[in-house]
Amino acid sequence: MTLDQHAGLIAWVGEDADVFRQKWNLRGAELDSLAERLRAEAEETAAHADEQDQASSADGGSALGDGSNGNADGGEGDFSPRDLPGEPSTGDTGRYKEFDGEIDLSDEALDSSHIEQGQLGDCWFLAGAGAVANRDPDFIREHMRQNEDGTWTVTLYDDGEPVEITVEPTFPENGAGAPDGVNWLSVYEKAAAEYFGGEYSELSGGFSSDAFEMITGREAEKTGEGDFADLEEKLAEGPVAVGTENNDVGERGWRIWESEIDEDNIVPNHAYIVEEVIPADDPRNTHGEPVVVLTNPWGPDGGELDDVQRDGTLTLTQEQYQESFDTTYSVDMED
């Protein structure tokens, strides 16, 4: 029986009873309003949680403070991947600038040390693309060509089916590229923005496994962090990216930079490229135990977050790796 029903059954009459019941009715309306607000806030919190689960856990983050590790909802909207007319909307990545020149597609230029993320929270995509280029630079060269009119054609995939996208020779001033300017990733990032509906903002947050599938056309995996044996097994088959721990929920919703990562030099909610696992007896290894080498899409110099320098390259023992990372993304590119 509800409190309203109990109040209605009380055998109490007179002026004081009437006043009490009037106050009770008013208070009940206030409680109903409060309950409705709490329900709305709970729904909003759940929505934020869903977005974060999909976001940049490895999923993507911006070198200038976006922080999503790449688990985002990039590409989750109602869209049909295709070559759209016109230029993608740049949003926070700044104005377009003309680019008149060729893109260097040498092995050196395709190396992950030549990645710099920019202001967009698409580490999930850049880590995936960089890992593919590390593994098979010929694959990138075969899927990106410059046309006679100065545009580029990039071949991406939708459910394994090729989608050719034409990219104009203009790039946002704060988009992805190399430390010294425009590179192949500038072209791929713009093609992905068009693929996802025509806005760079659609790339803010996603899974590196989705990046692998749209870039290679092959089915990718998203699993837990695993151990070094797991990473070595996946590296033997194809490119691998990993993601740091997810955000915690605070009193006022998602607190972007709070997470359970163990080391200050690691970016929370961010995707990294897995370069290699170095055995303990390798002359390059001075740790006395196996280590994994990871590349931060922010660039070779990393960047600052909350006044703390975050490294561009990480060399971690298995314990350090497992304390700060929770997701592995991989794709088998072996024939």
| CATH code of domain 61-331 | 3.90.70
Q: Find, among 290, 203, 276, the residue nearest to 240 by Cα.
A: 276
Task: Decide which of 248 and 28 is more confident.
Answer: 28
> What are the backbone dihedrals phi and psi of residue 154, each rounded to the nearest 5 degrees, phi first?
-110, 130
Cα dihedral 209, 210, 212, 218 sign: positive
pLDDT at 7 over 80: no
Q: What is the pLDDT of residues 83-108, one digit of tens each?
A: 666 789 998 788 999 998 889 999 99
pLDDT at 65 over 90: no
Rounded to the nearest integer, the mean pLDDT of the chain is 81
CA-based nearest residue to 199, from 164, 169, 175: 175
Question: Tens of pLDDT along 297-321?
Answer: 999 999 888 888 899 999 999 999 9
Amino acid at 180: D
State residue 124's pLDDT score.
Answer: 96
Domain coordinates in residue numbering, the chain: 61-331
Full-model pTM:
0.75
Cβ atoms of residues 207 and 269 within 8 Å: no
Q: Given this model, what pLDDT does residue 319 score?
A: 95
Rounded to the nearest 10 degrees, what angle do helices 208-216 and 123-135 cross at?
A: 50
Selected residue with higher pLDDT from 269 and 80: 269
